[in-house]
Amino acid sequence: MSEPTSPPATAATVTPQRPGLLAWRNAVFAVFFLSGLSVASWVARIPAVRDDLQISLETVGLVILGMSIGSVVGLSLSAAVLARFGARLGMIFALCLVATGLVTVGLGSSVFALLPVIVVGMALFGFGNGAVDVMMNVEGAAAEREIGKTLMPLMHAFFSFGTMTGAALGAAASALHVPVATHLAIMATLIVIAIFIAVRYIPIRESVGDDPHTEASRLPWSARLRENLAVFADNRLLLIGVIVLGTSFAEGSANDWIALAVVDGHGYDNTTGAIIFGVFVTAMTVGRVAGGPILDRFSRVPVLRTCAALGIAGLALFIFGGGGMPVIIVGTILWGLGSALGFPVGMSAAADDPKHAAARVSAVAIIGYGAFLAGPPLLGFLGQHFGILNALIVVLVLLLLAGLCAPAAREASKRTPAPTA
Record: fold of 18-202+231-410 = Growth Hormone; Chain: A; (1.20.1250)
What tens digit of pLDDT does each residue of 366-404 get? 777 666 666 667 787 888 888 888 889 988 999 999 999
224, 217 in Cβ contact below 8 A?
no
Highest mean pLDDT among 67-76, 128-137, 205-214, 361-370: 128-137
Q: Cα dihedral sign for 251, 257, 263, 269?
A: positive
pLDDT of residue 215: 45
Q: Which has more pLDDT, 141 or 100?
A: 100
Residue 324: CB atoms within 10 Å: 9
Q: Predicted confidence band at 213 (pLDDT cuts at 50, 70, 90)? A: very low
For residue 216, what is the DSSP state? S
Could you give the count of Cα atoms lying within 13 Å of 1 in the half-sphere of its Cβ? 3
What tens digit of pLDDT does each residue of 193-212 get? 999 999 999 987 655 555 44
Which range is least confidently modeled, 13-22, 141-150, 195-204, 351-360? 13-22
Mean of pLDDT over the chain: 83
**What is the C-alpha separation between 350 and 354, in angstroms, rounded?**
9
Residue 219 confidence (pLDDT) above 60:
no
Residue 83 confidence (pLDDT) above 80:
no
The backbone region for 419, taken as left when phi is positive above 0, alpha when psi lies in -120 to 50, beta otherwise, is: beta
pLDDT of residue 224: 61
**What is the C-alpha separation between 367 and 377, in angstroms, rounded?**
17
Residue 178 confidence (pLDDT) above 60:
yes
Q: Which has more pLDDT, 258 or 58?
A: 258
Please list, in sequence order, all residues whose beta carbon lies within 8 angstroms of the beta carbon of residue 216, skipping any fewer than 6 positions away: 10, 11, 12, 13, 206
Percent of the chain with pLDDT over 70: 84
Q: Predicted confidence band at 416 (pLDDT cuts at 50, 70, 90)? A: low
237, 11 in Cβ contact below 8 A?
no
28, 146 in Cβ contact below 8 A?
no
Of 10, 11, 19, 13, the C-alpha closest to 201 is 19
Mean pLDDT of 135-157: 85
Residue 51 confidence (pLDDT) above 80:
yes
Residue 114 CA from chain centroid, whole number:
28
392, 319 in Cβ contact below 8 A?
yes
Outline where 148-234 has alpha helix (H): 152-175, 180-198, 221-229
Q: Which has more pLDDT, 171 or 16?
A: 171
pLDDT of residue 223: 64
Q: Predicted confidence band at 36 (pLDDT cuts at 50, 70, 90)? A: very high
Residue 26: CB atoms within 10 Å: 13
Please list, in sequence order, all residues whose beta carbon lies within 8 angstroms of the beta carbon of residue 299, skipping any fewer than 6 positions away: 410, 411, 414
**What is the C-alpha separation between 349 and 10, in angstroms, rounded?**
28
Of 272, 213, 242, the C-alpha closest to 367 is 242
For residue 212, what is the DSSP state? T
The backbone region for 387, taken as left when phi is positive above 0, alpha when psi lies in -120 to 50, beta otherwise, is: left
Q: Which has more pLDDT, 128 or 209?
A: 128
125, 38 in Cβ contact below 8 A?
yes
What tens digit of pLDDT does each residue of 289-342 get? 998 889 888 999 999 999 999 999 999 999 987 768 999 999 999 999 999 999
Percent of the chain with pLDDT over 90: 38
